[in-house]
Chain A
């Protein structure tokens, strides 16, 4: 049995999968029977090495891929009976490469594209666009051509274009890849605010530093299976399971583990925590 982060179902389930399997046309079994519940307000990181099935899972959650067998339910409806455009109202998906989504001649037009496709009335579209532009801090770039911006800005535009559809769940595929530390921090802070406002966030990543600092729940994938579903502290106390999925925990976590015999606990996740524990053990010793 996979340990669950939330013993009691405290909030409503938005997405749930039952025995979800997916096999690609060539015969590659990318998902091999997943049972997973995403609850409203979650901040989940799906981690795993390349080819572990995490992107396939994300595409199954928003209906781009329909299950080969088993079910994915979004708000109680199976995705196999819904159109991607319908699911997009509930589950938004920002692709890894923002350049795959951007094509308009201004940031504002780009952000409008989604809500217009979903057929919202003009007034509502305008509101949603304003909120999305504000959430991703794009006010000053709104008239510029998206593809002429820097990567960090392009990624924020592509995320804004998804937020503008006002989905309950936001899936982000490798949002910090290629960003410098400042851009990455700015983006993660925006996501934190969105989560605080009630949006459910699903991060797909192998950036373990981002996971340690932001996610509350971590799902570890390997070979198309979930090998762990736990709160983030639980994940970092078990280095073996990360190794199994070709992941490397951040240096501070590895350092803490090496210092275990000196009394440092296993679940240290940040530099601040390690400093605190070191000072405490010195003071105590």
Chain B
């Protein structure tokens, strides 16, 4: 395992400059849109739009590849499994015993896969262009309590540390003859205890020290704490928000009010 992957890529694009709150809203709205749309070509259009944004955010292929591989396999699996479990509709393309493959079911599978593709990749718009620090700050600004935000910031801060810790502990136990990738599930899981106990004990000791450090730095001393950097919505952020709202509201209006089949 080669360390942890933080998708955030430093760059200076309009998405990087955009207020993180707007980007969080964007992810939510575009996800909703993916649920509203039911036609394959519209979902593919949405997928193209998401990839266009990723392209504009300078998300490099090599970094995306890791994440995309998962999504792609997921989509392929849906396309394969859907028709097998959905025998409704005609014409029947093939049948084998109780299993019936119908043309509409195949299209339903492909449509679902496209929707899943949208729901999966829309996250990357946020993750590629927003540092963890900005993400936590945005959540606090959006009403998440400061202590929850701090807890989240601490966990993000320690993720790579613990990743490295687990790697080191795995090495230390391998040097004692432990083979983690040998045997069935049961044996492997049992072997993992030799890694988990030192990891948990070290981590909890870290927590002990950390709570003292928080106290000594006056955590919770005043409710009206100030921040070094504040988030401020700029005109361009409002424009982006308006565009997003339009992208969602128009199809929603068409579908639910005007009863257009989209």
Interface residues of A (CB under 8 A from B): 25, 59, 62, 64, 83-85, 88-89, 92-93, 95, 97, 99-103, 113-115, 117-118, 147, 161-162, 165
Question: With a CB–CB cut-off of 8 A, which chain A residues contact B171?
Answer: 59, 64, 95
Determine how close the nearest CB of chain A comes to the CB of B162; give it in whole angstroms: 13
Determine how close the nearest CB of chain B comes to the CB of A66; give it in whole angstroms: 13
Q: How extensive is the interface on chain B, given as a class?
A: 20 to 34
Is A101 touching B177 in the complex (CB atoms < 8 A)? Answer: no
Among B92-100, B191-199, B225-233, which stretch is in contact with chain A? Answer: B191-199
B173 within 8 Å of A (CB atoms): yes
* A84 CB contact (under 8 Å) in B174, B197, B202: B174
The 8 A-B residue pairs whose C-beta atoms are closest, nearest first, are A117-B177, A103-B197, A93-B175, A114-B176, A100-B172, A95-B172, A85-B177, A84-B174
Please, could you name 18 A-B residue pairs with CB atoms under 8 Å apart, sorted by A? A64-B174, A84-B177, A85-B174, A88-B176, A88-B177, A99-B202, A100-B165, A100-B198, A102-B198, A103-B193, A103-B194, A103-B196, A103-B201, A113-B176, A117-B177, A117-B178, A118-B177, A162-B175
Which B residues between 169 and 211 are near A, CB-CB below 8 angstroms?
Answer: 169, 171-179, 193-194, 196-198, 201-202
CA distance A109 to B185 in the complex (A): 24
Interface residues of B (CB under 8 A from A): 2-3, 165, 168-169, 171-179, 193-194, 196-198, 201-202
Asked if A99 meets B177 with Cβ closer than 8 Å, knowing A59-B171, A64-B171, the reply is no
Determine how close the nearest CB of chain B comes to the CB of A195; give it in whole angstroms: 20
Question: With a CB–CB cut-off of 8 A, which chain A residues contact B194?
Answer: 103, 113
CA distance A127 to B139 in the complex (A): 59
CA distance A114 to B175 in the complex (A): 9
Is A25 touching B201 in the complex (CB atoms < 8 A)? Answer: no
Question: With a CB–CB cut-off of 8 A, which chain B residues contact A161?
Answer: 176
With both beta carbons as reference points, the residue of chain B lying nearest to A167 in the complex is identified as: B175
With both beta carbons as reference points, the residue of chain B lying nearest to A171 in the complex is identified as: B175
Is A165 touching B177 in the complex (CB atoms < 8 A)? Answer: yes
Asked if A147 meets B201 with Cβ closer than 8 Å, knowing A25-B2, A25-B3, A95-B168, the reply is yes
Is B178 touching A85 in the complex (CB atoms < 8 A)? Answer: yes
